[in-house]
């Protein structure tokens, strides 16, 4: 078995992007392995997906903490103990504090259901349809303190159909999210394995050019 980068995945819900990463990591030559899945929601279906795959899980219910900072401190400690090198946000419905993000620089990946910088934040599909765009899609990016504004790893485009609703558009974009996340994590993990000291933010324009418009 080839060497693999240890990954932790943070979720809040169904975990379909988590499942896509689990499926990708099954391949012997895939350069990453999921060592921990954390959910801030006790009943998240994604926890069942992780347990079925034999992956260690933790529930860190944010409602049990007095502040965002207190929650993030606990989360950071658990992640440190897992010895993960990358953190993947997969439907994690929490805005991470600036201190948390700065504690894990060049480490956190997130999948967003729009072609950033267009439509950051929530209700992306509703806003895309209201704007009348002809192309939408998803973006895999590094997480920084500014919401949905970190360096882009890659994007996948989806045509917007005349009869689209937010739900139908979301379903088609989600299919591309699964592909993009697995491919992007592979690319990032391979880069780390080749050069452990690489500054992913600084080099992302050249490192990840091949992923754009895949």
Quote the pLDDT of residue 2. Answer: 73
Q: Are the C-beta atoms of residues 114 and 124 closer than 8 Å to each other?
A: yes
| 150 and 196 share one domain | yes
Give every strand in the sheet of 135-142, ordered side by side: 57-59, 32-39, 5-11, 86-89, 108-112, 135-142, 152-159
- Closest of 186, 176, 187 to residue 209, by C-alpha: 187
Quote the pLDDT of residue 156. Answer: 97
pLDDT per residue, tens digit, the chain (214 aa), is: 579 999 999 999 999 999 999 999 999 999 999 999 999 999 999 999 999 999 999 999 999 999 999 999 999 999 999 999 999 999 999 999 999 999 999 999 999 999 999 999 999 999 999 999 999 999 999 999 999 999 999 999 999 999 999 999 999 999 999 999 999 999 999 999 997 554 544 444 433 433 444 3
Helix residue ranges, H only, 104-213: 124-131, 166-194, 200-207
| 73 and 145 share one domain | no
| 115 and 93 share one domain | no
The catalytic site residues sit at: 112
| 98 and 119 share one domain | no
Quote the pLDDT of residue 113. Answer: 97
CATH of the domain at 100: 3.40.50.170
Quote the pLDDT of residue 209. Answer: 39
Domain stops at, among 55, 88, 104 = 104
What are φ and ψ of residue 185, in 5° steps?
A: -65, -40
| 93 and 137 share one domain | no
| 140 and 100 share one domain | no
| 96 and 131 share one domain | no
Joined together, the tokens standing for residue 94 give 């929490």
Tokens 């009943």 map to which residue? 43
Quote the pLDDT of residue 202. Answer: 44
d(CA 149, CA 158): 21
| 29 and 93 share one domain | yes
| 148 and 70 share one domain | no
What are φ and ψ of residue 110, in 5° steps?
A: -140, 145
pTM beyond 0.95, yes or no:
no
- Alpha carbon 171 to its chain centroid, in Å, reads 17
Per the structure, the count of domains in the chain is 2
| 204 and 136 share one domain | yes
76 is in which domain, residue-wise?
A: 1-104
Joined together, the tokens standing for residue 153 give 């790893």
- Closest of 79, 143, 157 to residue 111, by C-alpha: 143
d(CA 49, CA 26): 14
Domain stops at, among 104, 135, 154 = 104
| 87 and 123 share one domain | no
| 88 and 184 share one domain | no
Domain stops at, among 104, 139, 171 = 104
Joined together, the tokens standing for residue 87 give 């953190």
């Amino acid at each position: 078995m080839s060497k693999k980068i240890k990954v932790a995945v943070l979720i809040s819900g169904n975990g379909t992007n988590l499942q896509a990463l689990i499926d990708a990591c099954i391949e012997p030559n895939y350069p990453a392995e999921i060592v921990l899945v954390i959910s801030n929601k006790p009943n998240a279906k994604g926890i069942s997906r992780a347990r079925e795959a034999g992956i260690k899980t933790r529930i860190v219910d944010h409602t049990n903490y007095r502040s965002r900072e207190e929650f993030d401190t606990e989360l950071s400690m658990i992640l440190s103990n897992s010895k993960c090198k990358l953190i993947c946000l997969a439907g994690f419905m929490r805005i991470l504090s600036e201190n948390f993000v700065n504690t894990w620089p060049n480490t956190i990946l997130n999948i967003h259901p729009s072609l950033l910088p267009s439509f950051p934040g929530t209700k992306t599909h509703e806003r895309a349809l209201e704007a009348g765009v002809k192309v939408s899609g998803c973006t895999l990016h590094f997480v920084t303190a500014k919401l949905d504004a970190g360096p882009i790893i890659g994007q996948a485009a989806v045509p917007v159909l005349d009869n689209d609703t937010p739900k139908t558009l979301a379903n088609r974009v989600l299919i591309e999210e699964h592909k993009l996340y697995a491919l992007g994590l592979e690319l990032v993990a391979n880069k780390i394995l080749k050069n452990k000291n690489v500054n992913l933010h600084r080099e992302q324009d050249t490192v990840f050019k091949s992923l754009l418009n895949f």
